[in-house]
Structure 1
Amino acid sequence: MKYISKTVWVLSLVSLFTDIASEMLYPVLPIYLKSIGYSILFIGVLEGIAEVVAGYGKGYFGHLSDVTGKRVPFVKFGYTLSAISKPLLSLGQNPFVVLVSRILDRIGKGVRTGARDAILSSEATNKTKARVFGFHRAMDTLGAVLGPSLALAYLYFYPQDYIFLFYLALLPGIIAIGFTFLLKEKSKQSTETNFRDQNNSLTSFLSYWKKSNPNYRKLVFGLLVFAFWNSSDVFLILKAKDVGLADHLVIGIYIFYNLVYAGFSYPLGIFADKIGLKKMFLFGLGIYAIVYLLMGIVQSSGLVLLAFFLYGLYAAATEGISKAWISNVVPNNETATAIGMYTGLQSICAFFASFVAGWLWFLFGAPVTFIVTGFFAVLVALYFLVTKVAEDSEP
């Protein structure tokens, strides 16, 4: 743990408590909205709009962080927006208020992501970034274990008392905001930034693609092709339900997946720093392909449990690794823009991925959906095998 600085610890604790708040509501919100009369179509459109807003915000505010040379204000404001959005859901009888709440939460995510990841990158060397991003991802994902567990425990004693749960989720959000005040801005970012003299319009960050180096473009192209086929985890959860698991077991298996994800993120990050980021990412893609091909044919609860275990390994081997890899191939003063643009486009691709998966499921059934997705994961792995992408910008 000698490579984990105080700043990384603080950011990780902020993410932990924020994710506790968010994940307390994630499995509950669709049930609550449906119980007060909202259609599945409305819920789907709501989440789609929220993801597109978050995706755009990651690119724009990441670029703005590089332009201004500031990181901490974006982190503070972003986490604050997400925290205050939770209690608004208690006014869920009004569709406009529900929409505002979700958009505020997603804008908050967009504001903070690029700046936060740039801080994490600055707290590591190119040889230790995978473990730093892995540690942060482990703490963040631990919130995805604790949040649903707390929600399940509360609803066990107070069934359908959703309103108070929305207020309860404010508490970990406030704790997260408190931790952000322990962050201190480093000396002003380098004035050699490529964006200093540019007009910072609402779409200016999109021009980064042309200005970025070839390694970034080749890497992000492969990542985005994968993102276009990497649909929502909801489809895996639906498959678990289809094989006959009860509702509480389905939620339990989702918690189990996040526990595996959290437990392996830091160790795999350390290993990636030793063997190389590309090798670890390819390992993760291979595991992903196995999971989806397996889910295409599986009919037993035991194999579903194995698939979710492997899925946790895949997430641990790719999520933090991809950001570490990106930050290694771009200059320090472009990190927030580079990661922000990638994660923004990733969110938009994920929206279309879920649409495509739903369409395939509707027309051809679950097996075709999972097998096609697994097949494209194999193609992306082949792309990275034959494409030369540097792992380190240092000479």
Structure 2
Amino acid sequence: MSKKQAFLFIILLGLVSLFADITYEGARSIVGPFMKTLGASAATLGFAVGLGELIGYAFRLVSGVLSDVTKKYWLFTILGYTVNLLAVPMLAFAGNWQVALALILMERFGKALRTPARDTLLSFAAEEIGTGKSFGIHEALDQVGAILGPLSVTFALAFGKSYRFCFFVLFIPALVALALLLTARIVFPSTRIEKVKKVRSADRNLGRTYWFYLLVVSMIAFGFADFPLIAYHMKNFETTKDFLVPAVYSLAMAVDAVSALVFGYLFDRKGFPALLYPVLLSAFFPIFSFSGYFPLIFAGTVLWGIGMGAQESIMRAAVAKIVSQEKRGFAYGMFFTVYGVFWFLGSWILGILYDTNRLYLILVSLFSQLIAFALLFRFKRTAG
């Protein structure tokens, strides 16, 4: 596979993610306030979002193994995107928070189905032009959509449209994403996959370095409050107008995109030590994001975006550095499964702590991420 072909493939998958993110990140920016209008509490929201992430990550182990065994990387990718994207416009018809929860879970299940297979395909191309750079470019394009989605929702709400209207019109970018995905399938050369098929094995031993790295990622996932809870807090304290909540999320996605590119290039130059910077910077976001003052929430959103950019780019790229390609589908599946379990537990517990006392939430979130930083500092000395 030539560098030109690899770059084209990465761009095409990035464009798929761009329009996919317009769809589900646009929805994600208003799920918190929408669930509140349906009568959900913060604990319920934390459970709902956390359970969705648990399903969205835990099932990736199954889909990752299945994609390795069957070699049907494109089948899992296309089917997963279809389920993932079509669940969003259906939220427009949710009559209560239970139905909304079911659709949130459906959307996350679709993402779980396609992510290990897509990331495995992406990693093949990434080896031609640089792992950190490739995942960084993909995440940056992904986050352009994550910016445009919440912004489109912001304008719709500013002009008096309802949450349900916003969910419904997100069907348009969903269709564009699926069309681009089929285009990528047609133009991507199959020779690379055929080569990998010959070296695939049943060996599932991923090594001590991988498992220690997974421990670090778990602590980050546990302490990283999801944006719907931050949005819930903004609505609960009336810190700003409703239409500005998705705008704040759009800012976070813009920071995410820049963060992914910067730290992606840094990862290719410095290796694992590049992971330290975003983890330390983002650790302090809960102090600002759960304050009662909008400018501080705004600042916290920037730190939150830095952390998300790292999690969605170089933390994924690191797996490709640690694990050989014949085990990568399984490795990505396990990575996302463990990440999802701890994200779920963290989201649920942080939601409960928010209902009890915001200070408890802030302390648990902060210390969990600082522990992750300490573990990562030890990790980079052995792996980097």
- What's the TM-score bracket when you normalise by the shorter of the two chains? 0.7 to 0.9
Question: 323, 326, 345: which one pairs with 1:330?
Answer: 323
Q: Would you say the 8 A contact 1:288–1:374 is kept in 2? A: no
Asked if 1:25 corresponds to 2:51, the answer is no
CA gap 1:91/1:219 in 2 versus in 1, 3 angstroms: same
Asked if 1:194 corresponds to 2:195, the answer is no
Asked if 1:167 corresponds to 2:168, the answer is yes
Asked if 1:270 corresponds to 2:265, the answer is yes
Give the Å deviation of 1:319. Answer: 2.9
For 2:81, the equivalent position in structure 1 comes to 79
Asked if 1:16 corresponds to 2:52, the answer is no
For 1:219, the equivalent position in structure 2 comes to 213
Give the Å deviation of 1:256. Answer: 1.3
Give the Å deviation of 1:322. Answer: 0.8
Question: 248, 253, 258: which one pairs with 1:258?
Answer: 253
Give the Å deviation of 1:244. Answer: 3.5
Q: Percent identity?
A: 24
CA gap 1:302/1:84 in 2 versus in 1, 3 angstroms: closer
Asked if 1:368 corresponds to 2:360, the answer is yes
Query: Which consecutive unaligned segments of at least 5 residues does structure 1 have?
Result: 197-207
Write the deviation string for residues 93-114 of structure 1: whole angstroms up to 9, x where unpaired.
Answer: 3777545533332221011100
Q: Would you say the 8 A contact 1:283–1:317 is kept in 2? A: no
CA distance in 2, matches of 1:320, 1:192: 26
Counterpart of 1:244 in structure 2: which amino acid? T
CA distance in 2, matches of 1:375, 1:56: 25
Q: Would you say the 8 A contact 2:154–2:247 is kept in 1? A: no
Give the Å deviation of 1:245. Answer: 3.5
Give the Å deviation of 1:33. Answer: 4.9
For 1:148, the equivalent position in structure 2 comes to 150
CA gap 1:239/1:158 in 2 versus in 1, 3 angstroms: closer
Give the Å deviation of 1:45. Answer: 4.7
CA gap 1:312/1:99 in 2 versus in 1, 3 angstroms: closer
Write the deviation string for residues 352-388 of structure 1: whole angstroms up to 9, x where unpaired.
Answer: 102222333334x223322332222222211122235
Give the Å deviation of 1:8. Answer: 0.4
Query: Which consecutive unaligned segments of at least 5 residues does structure 2 have?
Result: none
**SS of structure 2 residue aligned to 1:247:** coil
Q: Would you say the 8 A contact 2:88–2:167 is kept in 1? A: yes
Q: Would you say the 8 A contact 1:4–1:132 is kept in 2? A: no
Q: Would you say the 8 A contact 2:26–2:153 is kept in 1? A: yes
Q: Would you say the 8 A contact 2:81–2:114 is kept in 1? A: yes
CA distance in 2, matches of 1:368, 1:136: 36
For 2:64, the equivalent position in structure 1 comes to 62
**SS of structure 1 residue aligned to 2:304:** helix
**SS of structure 2 residue aligned to 1:244:** coil
For 2:314, the equivalent position in structure 1 comes to 321
Q: Would you say the 8 A contact 2:13–2:181 is kept in 1? A: yes
**SS of structure 2 residue aligned to 1:212:** coil
Q: Would you say the 8 A contact 2:289–2:299 is kept in 1? A: no
Counterpart of 2:178 in structure 1: which amino acid? I
Structure in which a larger fraction of residues adopt helix: 2
Q: Would you say the 8 A contact 2:209–2:383 is kept in 1? A: yes
Could you tell which deviates more after superposition, 41-50 or 15-24? 41-50
The 5 Å alignment of 1:289-368 reads 289-293=283-287, 300-363=293-356, 365-368=357-360
CA distance in 1, matches of 2:128, 2:382: 15
Could you tell which deviates more after superposition, 76-85 or 9-18? 76-85
Q: Would you say the 8 A contact 1:243–1:301 is kept in 2? A: no
Counterpart of 1:166 in structure 2: which amino acid? F
For 2:40, the equivalent position in structure 1 comes to 39
Runs ≥4 residues deviating over 6 A: 1-4
For 1:200, the equivalent position in structure 2 comes to none
Q: How many residues align?
A: 373
Asked if 1:384 corresponds to 2:372, the answer is no
CA distance in 1, matches of 2:294, 2:6: 39
CA gap 1:282/1:95 in 2 versus in 1, 3 angstroms: closer
CA distance in 2, matches of 1:46, 1:238: 13
Asked if 1:120 corresponds to 2:112, the answer is no
Counterpart of 2:193 in structure 1: which amino acid? S
CA gap 1:288/1:248 in 2 versus in 1, 3 angstroms: same
- TM-score, normalization by structure 1: 0.84
CA gap 1:194/1:167 in 2 versus in 1, 3 angstroms: same
Root mean square deviation of aligned Cα: 2.8
**SS of structure 1 residue aligned to 2:29:** coil
CA gap 1:316/1:126 in 2 versus in 1, 3 angstroms: farther
Question: 225, 229, 236: which one pairs with 1:231?
Answer: 225
Give the Å deviation of 1:2. Answer: 7.4
- TM-score, normalization by structure 2: 0.86
Give the Å deviation of 1:248. Answer: 3.5
Counterpart of 1:175 in structure 2: which amino acid? V
CA gap 1:224/1:42 in 2 versus in 1, 3 angstroms: closer
